[in-house]
């Protein structure tokens, strides 16, 4: 007759993996101290996971700490094959009604940024980037459900709502100039002779806006600033348009095929 023996072990250390029992003072249940592959290890309530972290560096609210005293802490989520996606899910959809789900980046205790949903324990399903303490008032960029984006505001009422100053690119030219896709405002600083400003193609850039201004104060009928479109495209139905008055200005917008003043 075969007999079975039951052995109770409170702590086992195998190849750099330590399973600590309830009799241990180590405040965690699973520890990896070397290069190990771990699978099929379910954690139960209140159990912790350490990766290269001294036991004293985990608090009562931490469930996972990854730390390397020598620097170079990295977490990689990699899908090596098959279909589907590799993702990191931060889910706080339990019984807590007004709780956020966030990810914090911290260099020092008073120097941190967070990104997440429902920051500040609200329930409107917004997404925010927050500086410092996670309160709604500290959000620097906020996206409401539906797509309205707020900068320095927690209640954006437009697609883009900027509650503060706005800086746009200014390009100064003293001669002829071909507008780039990265330009916005073009200031012509010298009109001692006629100047030509060439627009890029309006095709495929519906809504693109350019502003052209006589900053020299010398535009006239004899020394105009002539704006010409690309190829056979037009500006308000014409092959070209001019600024021929002192400090004159033109604002142009593309409809995807041609240019129009507004």
pLDDT tens digits for range 122-173: 678 899 999 988 888 899 999 999 999 999 999 999 999 999 999 999 999 9
Residues 196, 228 contacting (CB under 8 angstroms): yes
Least confident segment among 27-31, 66-70, 102-106, 210-214: 27-31
Order of strands across the sheet with 111-117? 101-108, 111-117, 127-131, 139-143, 149-151, 160-162
> Following CA atoms 62, 66, 71, 73 in sequence, which dihedral angle do they give, to the nearest 10 degrees?
-130
pLDDT of residue 91: 80
| pLDDT tens track for 226-262 | 999 999 999 999 999 999 999 999 999 999 999 999 9
| Residue 201 scores a pLDDT above 70 | yes
HSE of 240, CA atoms in CB hemisphere, 13 A: 12
User: Quick check: 40 pLDDT over 60?
Assistant: no
Domains and their CATH numbers in the chain? 11-66 (no CATH), 101-162 (no CATH), 170-261 (2.60.120.640)
Answer yes or no: is pLDDT of 78 > 60.
yes
| Radius of gyration in angstroms for the set of CA atoms belonging to the chain, rounded to a whole number | 31
- What is the pLDDT, as a whole number, of residue 93? 74
């Amino acid at each position: 007759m075969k007999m079975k023996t039951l052995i109770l072990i409170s702590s086992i250390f195998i190849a750099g993996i330590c399973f600590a029992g309830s009799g241990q003072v180590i405040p965690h249940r699973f520890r990896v101290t070397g290069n190990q592959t771990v699978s099929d290890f379910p954690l139960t309530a209140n159990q912790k996971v350490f990766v290269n972290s001294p036991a004293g560096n985990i608090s009562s609210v931490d469930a996972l700490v990854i730390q390397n005293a020598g620097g170079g802490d990295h977490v990689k989520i990699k899908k090596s094959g098959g279909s589907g996606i590799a993702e990191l899910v931060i889910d706080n959809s339990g019984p807590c009604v007004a709780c956020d789900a966030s990810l914090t980046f911290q260099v020092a205790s008073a120097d941190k940024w967070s990104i997440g949903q429902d920051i500040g324990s609200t329930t409107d399903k917004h997404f925010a980037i927050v500086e410092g303490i996670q309160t709604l008032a500290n959000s620097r960029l906020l996206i409401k459900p539906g797509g309205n984006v707020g900068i320095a505001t927690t209640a954006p009422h437009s697609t883009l709502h900027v509650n503060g100053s706005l800086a746009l690119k200014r390009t100064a030219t003293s001669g002829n100039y071909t507008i780039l896709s990265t330009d916005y405002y073009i200031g012509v600083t010298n009109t001692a002779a006629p100047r030509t400003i060439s627009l890029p193609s309006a095709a495929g850039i519906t809504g693109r806006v350019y502003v052209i201004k006589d900053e020299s104060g010398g535009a006239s009928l004899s020394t105009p600033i002539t704006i010409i479109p690309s190829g056979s495209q037009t500006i308000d139905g014409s092959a070209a348009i001019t600024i021929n008055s002192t400090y004159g200005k033109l604002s142009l917008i593309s409809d995807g095929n041609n240019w129009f003043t507004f």
